[in-house]
Amino acid sequence: MFKKFLVLATTTWGLCLPVWADSSVASSASDSVSTSVGSLSDSLQHSSNSSSRNGGVAEGDYRLEDVASLEEHPGMLRLHLQPTVQAAGSEGFWLDLPQAAFNDSHLQPGEQVHASQRPYGMEFSNAQTRQAFFLALRDDWLQDLRVRAVEL
């Protein structure tokens, strides 16, 4: 009887481990998402104040002209991006994002950022590697993703 209980307890414990592991993975993924997601309205700045569903940014490649700290928002950077031939017809813009997200891009001034239109907003990636480092979500999408405390 004790052996059956031990086998059952060991099996049950083994089945629970993946659930707990998934929980901690989800938690750490949730923590990292906050450094790589922002709203279109807060993240994109244009000289002409254009606004549209995608923030007025055309899909294509943009040259990273400059990176500056935002003194009024510690831990945030402002990237100055100018269109390349692939993004012709678009104007330059400034992209505000967390410094951690920019660090993940491994970009330097003079290199290129790729902007991709998505149903949820804009995805910004390193043009060479196509590794996404920042998502600028439409406000309605971002609102749906906000974490809310639930009382049980």
- If you ran DSSP here, which 8-state letter would residue 72 be given? T
Cα–Cα distance for residue pair 135/115, rounded to 1 Å: 10
Model confidence, pTM = 0.67
pLDDT band at 9 (very low <50, low <70, confident <90, very high): very low
Q: What is the pLDDT of residues 73-98, one digit of tens each?
A: 999 999 999 999 866 667 889 999 99
Q: What is the pLDDT of residues 97-116, one digit of tens each?
A: 999 999 999 999 999 999 99
Say if residue 55's pLDDT is above 80.
no
